[in-house]
Every structure is written in structure tokens, then in C-alpha cells.
Structure 1
Amino acid sequence: MDKTRVLTGITTTGTPHLGNYVGAIKPAIAASQDPNVQSYYFLADLHALIKCQDPKRVQESRLEIAATWLALGLDTDNAIFYRQSDIPEIPELTWMLSCVCAKGLMNRAHAYKAAVADNEAAGQQDLDKGVTMGLFSYPVLMAADILMFNANKVPVGRDQIQHIEMARDMAGRFNHLFKGQYFTLPEAVVDEKVEVLGGLDGRKMSKSYNNTIPLFVSEKKLLKLVRKIKTNSLEPGEPKDPDTCTLFQIYSAFATAEETEAMRQRYRDGIGWGDAKNELFDYLNAHLREPRERYQALMEDPGYIEDVLRKGAERARAEAAPFMDTLRHAVGLGRFI
């Protein structure tokens, strides 16, 4: 029986934080260890150029994210782990898909519509001000990422479902025009159980809000950040609602069911906020200590990370290169002999 193909991209524009780990990294690493699944995990560094024109930041983020996934146990013997920019067939496929993709489809993309709405709200006469072709057409690049490896399932948040539908549209159009079943139509997988962690200010943990707790900061910095998490003014001894508390939410995302229930009882008993923050710090620090040490060792050995990604790219290209030859013939760009 053929393995189910699951593909996930990680945009390389920031430092991984606790929210990334709970919402995406932890379940993806678990899937990487499933022998019935062929997982593709890639550093979406071409996508990063859309949002970030700081070469140093993109380079640092690529290294940090690769080190993070490896430190946390990504199984690179089973999963294929690679840099998007190491697979030249992906931008080539992007162009082929661009040539069958209707501009009207891209006009409806959420990111583009949001940029136009922002310009309209600001009174700009040019509603496309600041919109690059990268921003406008990045759903085509995302479709190429997915279709290059004929992924069956693509885990995404609700805001990304539209892009999977667009990929399906492009795949179907290509198959129809060139009279063949070249592409599998991918399915979006939205896990309603995935935890969305609150940040330091109580809003969703996001680098956009500058309210994150990076995964592998030092113990001293971790303690400082945990102590900054917003709480209410209830005094020690007063019962507290764990279900509206960011401290409890983060704790329960890492703790066992038994540990979570024990902490829930302590909230009912009126745990003080200082004690709750210390408990959270101690638990996180113990949970992250060994991965942090592995991460630091990896960051000091970029050659090892480069070797892992090079091997991943070789495995990815072993599939992508012959498939691209098939696609070139399909569209009339094959060799003469």
C-alpha cells in the first residue's frame, strides 16, 4: 500500500517560539515517525523573501528553524527535510502553473485583498501600492511546493485553506489542458484540536504582536519572560479560573493529563500568581533543557545542519527531477531525442 504523503512548509522569517512548537512542530515531528506516512518538511525560504528583505535575518532564521526541528527529534531517515531553495524544479513548476492560473483567482487571495483593503483605508489612489508580484502570486509558489511531490494531505490553519483550494484548481486545470493525471488533488487538513497558545499579553502568541516566548532562550531569559505574562489582580488564596489564564494554558500544553488536573485543583485552591509563574518556569525549563542543549550544539555546528539539508535535498530531487522531465514533455518542452 502506498504511503500517505503529507507536506508542511516552515517560513523562515522568525525565531521559533512556544506557540509554534505546540501548534505545528510537535504534531509534525510525531507524524515524521509514522512508518505509514511519507512526510515532506521544508524550509520555505523562497516564501520568506516576500516578507523580509533582510538577508541576515533570513539566513539566521533558516539556521535557527532547521536546528530547532532537529533538536526536537525530527526523524530525517523517514521524513524528507529540505530547503525549498535547493529544489530548482519548484520555481520551474511555479512558472508552468502561473501559465495555467487565472489572474482572477489570484485577485481573490486573502493576502492580496488585505493589502488592497489597507491601501483603500489609507486613502491611497494606487490600491496596489506596495504589492509585489511575490505577494500577489505566492499562492502559485505554494501550489508548486505541494504539487511537486503530489502531497495527499497538507496540514494548515483555517486561514490557509484557500491556498489548498487554489492548488487544487491549478492542478485540475493543468491535468485538463495537458490531458493526463499529472497531479494529485491535495486535501487541506485542519486539526481543530491544535492548541493556539496565548502570548505575554494574553493575545495569540505571534511574532507580529511581539509577545512570544522563544523556545530556546536561556534559563534566565525564560524566567524573565514567564514573569511578564499578563495575569489579573486576584490575591493568593482567592480561587482562580484556569480556563481564562495564559499561564495555565501554556502549562497544560506541555503537561500530562494528571499534572494538568493537579494544577487545575491548585487554581481552585487559590494559587498565587508568583507561585503559578514559578511552577510554569520550572516545568518548561525541565521540559526544554535537553532540547536546548542539542539546539545550542547544532547552532555551533552549521556544517552538520548543511549536511542534513543537502541529503534531504538529494532525496527530494530524486523525485522532483524525473517528475519535472515528465511535465516538460507534457507541455512541449521535452528534449528532441
Structure 2
Amino acid sequence: MPQNPEKLRKERQDMAITLLACGIDPKKCILFEQSRVSGHSELTWILSCMTPVGWLARMTQWKSKLGVNKGVKSIEDVSATDGLQLGLLAYPVLMAADVLLYRATKIPVGEDQVQHLELARDIAQMFNKNVGQPFFPLPRPMISMSHLTKRAKTKRIMSLRDPNNKMSKSDPSDQTRIHLVDKPEVITSKIKRAITDSISGITYNKIERPAVSNLIEIYAAAKRVSIEDVVKEHSESSMATFKNALTETLVVSLESIQEEITRLDKERVYVQSVLDEGARKANEIARPNLRNVQTLMGLL
């Protein structure tokens, strides 16, 4: 989507600061801005020429962005696609290019991105068939379960105000989410106002108690314990007591990240140097892969 240029430049660097503060180590991985590697857009065009529009029409993201009923199957429905930009409809092809450009095999994604990764696999298979050789490996999703038990699958954190929707920075209400830079008093207010239900006690049931279960998952993830441990710990707690404990856990778990964000915010020259070096390294991988794609297609 079109952005304010100056605002976008700052927010890109802010995102890099946040990732570094959360523990991304530039000595162990390549951190870079997608727009600094032209191979992403070049490969996107090549893959777009092979991707059936029908595949893109089945994607749920563009429908949710436009507020379109997910039952709509055809983009020929003018009422459904009014305001739909080509970039939004074709965005999954760019996501596929992001993966395939590096011939990646394992992709850490949220549960809501599995459909897009499946599309990337389909596109890779189509390309391989067209060129007559398995150039692109078929990427597989890695959905986080981390240290938690099988019941505590924090694959998607839901909104504090609506447990049917994921927690998202694009939600118009700031009360739906916890920002990594939120001050303790802000976190306290948001958790206090988070919706629950009229059932007494702290129990985990995503069907009957989705809002409370979401708070339990957040607690478990932040404290690095299992769902069962949380429920056992608060078996006798009131909702107010549980929310106070959750608030304290979040404040403590975010403290070191917030301190690092503050430190890195004063070292933006260093942060930019990390992004510059990352772009250089990413281009070193992307260029030969893109040349091979072009050669296989007869473009070189």
C-alpha cells in the first residue's frame, strides 16, 4: 500500500531495531530490507507470468483486507473487488518469490500464512515442471511450538478485544494488542480491559472460553511454562488476580527488550550498517539464483 516516504523509512529502521532487540543476531543471520534486493521484484514478475489468477482468487488475505465475504470465489464480482489493487491480489506471488529466491526449504510462519506457503510450493512445482528440472526445493512451514507442551500451541496470538481475530498492529484499536514498547501502565490498562467471559475460574478451553484461553496462552508464552502449569497455578485465582499476574509477567518479560530498543535507538548508524551489510550478503545469494532462473527460461 502507498506510504508516507519519510514515515516508512523511519518505521523500517524501527522494525530492524525491534528485531535486533528481540535477539536477532546479525552474526548468525542476514537481516536486510527486501527493497534493497531487486531480485525479489524481478523473480515476482517471472513467477506472476506462471501463476493462474484462480490460485490468487482463492487466497483469503485480500478478501479479509477488503472486508469481503470469504465465500466469494470469483474476482469477477465487481462488488467484491471494488478497490482491489493488483499489488494486494498478487502479493502472495511476491511472498513466494521472497522464499524461492533463496531456494529456502524451511520457513517459520504463523498459522495464518500457511495458505501462502502452500501457494509458494504450487508455484515452485509449476516452475520446475516448466523448465524440466527440480530447481526450486518445495518449502515446508515451521510453526512455533517452542518450549510449550502440545496443548500450548501459540501459533497465533489473538486480539485482546476479539478472540476471533488475531492480534494485529493494523487493527484500528490500540487496545487490541500489546506493543513491545508499551509502558507498564499501558500494559496494565490493556490487560485489565481485555475481554473475558462470565464463567468463574481460570480454565483453558479454546471453544467455550476463547478469550480467557488466549490470555492463558500469552501468559504461558511470556513466562515460558506450559498451559497446564498456568491453569494449575491459578486454579484458585479470581480473574482480577490472574490478570494482575499476567500483567506483571508481561512487564518483566518485555523489560530487557525495551532497554535494548532504547539503546539501539541511539545507535541508528550501527543499525543501518547492519541492514547495509545484510543487503550485500542477501544480494550475493539472490543474484546467482536469479541468473539461473533466467537461464533456465531462456532469458539469458
Instruction: Give the TM-score normalised by the residue count of structure 1.
Output: 0.71
1:58-137 residue pairs with structure 2 within 5 A? 58-112=8-62, 115=66, 117-118=68-69, 125-137=78-90
Query: How many residue pairs were aligned?
Result: 276
Question: Contact 1:242 / 1:249 at 8 angstroms: preserved in 2?
Answer: no
1:213 aligns to what? 178
> Residues 291 and 133 (structure 1 numbering): CA distance in 2 closer, same or farther, change over 3 Å?
same
1:320 aligns to what? 286
Question: Contact 1:112 / 1:136 at 8 angstroms: preserved in 2?
Answer: yes
Counterpart CA distance in 2 for 1:101 and 1:202 is: 35
SS, match of residue 92 in structure 1 = helix
Counterpart CA distance in 2 for 1:145 and 1:88 is: 11
Unaligned 5+ segments in structure 2 are 146-152
Shifted more, 293-302 versus 193-202: the winner is 193-202
Instruction: Give the TM-score normalised by the residue count of structure 2.
Output: 0.78
Shift of 1:67: 1.3
Counterpart CA distance in 1 for 2:47 and 2:18 is: 32
2:202 aligns to what? 241
1:1-337 residue pairs with structure 2 within 5 A? 49=1, 53-112=3-62, 115=66, 117-118=68-69, 125-191=78-144, 193-201=153-161, 203=163, 204-207=166-169, 208=171, 210=173, 211-231=176-196, 240-243=201-204, 244=209, 245=212, 247-257=215-225, 261=229, 264-265=231-232, 267-271=234-238, 273=240, 275-334=241-300
> Residues 159 and 285 (structure 1 numbering): CA distance in 2 closer, same or farther, change over 3 Å?
closer
Question: Contact 1:198 / 1:249 at 8 angstroms: preserved in 2?
Answer: no
Shift of 1:317: 0.9
Counterpart CA distance in 1 for 2:278 and 2:194 is: 39
Question: C-alpha deviations, 1:277-312, integer Å up to 9, x for none?
Answer: 333332222222121110112123222211111111
One-letter amino acid of the structure 1 residue matched with residue 288 of structure 2: P
Sequence identity of aligned pairs in percent? Answer: 30
> Residues 314 and 174 (structure 1 numbering): CA distance in 2 closer, same or farther, change over 3 Å?
same
Counterpart CA distance in 2 for 1:228 and 1:330 is: 57
Counterpart CA distance in 2 for 1:169 and 1:225 is: 41
Question: C-alpha deviations, 1:68-90, integer Å up to 9, x for none?
Answer: 11111112222221111111111
One-letter amino acid of the structure 1 residue matched with residue 156 of structure 2: V
Counterpart CA distance in 2 for 1:116 and 1:198 is: 18
Unaligned 5+ segments in structure 1 are 1-48
Question: Contact 2:154 / 2:217 at 8 angstroms: preserved in 1?
Answer: no
> Residues 101 and 280 (structure 1 numbering): CA distance in 2 closer, same or farther, change over 3 Å?
closer
Question: Contact 1:119 / 1:129 at 8 angstroms: preserved in 2?
Answer: no
SS, match of residue 81 in structure 1 = coil
Shifted more, 312-321 versus 200-209: the winner is 200-209
Counterpart CA distance in 2 for 1:175 and 1:259 is: 43
1:30 aligns to what? none
Shift of 1:148: 0.3
| RMSD, matched Cα | 3.1
Counterpart CA distance in 2 for 1:248 and 1:183 is: 40
SS, match of residue 32 in structure 2 = strand
Counterpart CA distance in 2 for 1:173 and 1:233 is: 52
> Residues 222 and 109 (structure 1 numbering): CA distance in 2 closer, same or farther, change over 3 Å?
closer
